[in-house]
Amino acid sequence: MRPLLGEEEALAAAEAVRSGWVAQGPRVREFEEAFAASVGASHGVAVSSCTTGLHLAVHLLGIGPGDEVVVPSLSFIATANAVRYTGATPVFADVEAETGNISASTVEPVLTERTRAVMVVHQAGVPADVDALKAFCEPRGIAVIEDAACAAGSTYKGKPVGTDALLAAWSFHPRKLLTTGEGGMVTTDDPDWAVRLKRLREHGMSVSAADRHNGGSAVIEQYLETAFNYRMTDIQAAVGLVQLSKLDAIIARRRELAARYHELLAGTGLIAVNDPEYGTTNYQSFWVWLPEGADRQEVLAGLAERGVSARRGIMASHLEPAYEGHPRAELPVTEAFTARTLILPLFHDLTESEQDTVVSALSETLHTSRLTVRG
Q: Which residues are known to be catalytic?
A: 176
Task: Quickly count: other Cβ atoms within 10 Å of residue 113's Cβ.
Answer: 5
Outline where 154-266 has alpha helix (H).
191-200, 209-214, 234-265
The rounded distance, in Å, linking the Cα atoms of 190 and 67 is 23
186, 53 contact by CB (below 8 A): yes
Give the strands of the sheet with 167-171, arranged side by side.
Answer: 43-47, 184-188, 167-171, 143-147, 115-121, 68-72, 89-93
Half-sphere exposure of residue 213: CA atoms within 13 angstroms, side-chain side: 9
Sign of CA dihedral 364, 368, 369, 374: positive
**CA distance linking residue 210 with residue 177, whole number of Å:** 29
Residue 323 CA: distances (Å) to CA of 81, 170, 314, 327? 10, 24, 16, 9
At 225, the amino acid letter reads E
Report how far residue 94's alpha carbon sits from residue 51's, in angstroms, rounded to the nearest whole number.
21
Q: How far is CA 22 from the centre of its chain?
A: 26
- Check if the beta carbon of residue 366 is closer than 8 Å to that of residue 359: no
- For 203, list phi and psi in degrees, rounded to 5: 65, 10
- Please give the Cα distance from 360 to 217 (Å, whole number): 67
Give the E-state strand segments of the chain in sequence order: 43-47, 68-72, 89-93, 115-121, 143-147, 155-156, 159-160, 167-171, 184-188, 271-272, 279-280, 286-289, 311-312, 341-344
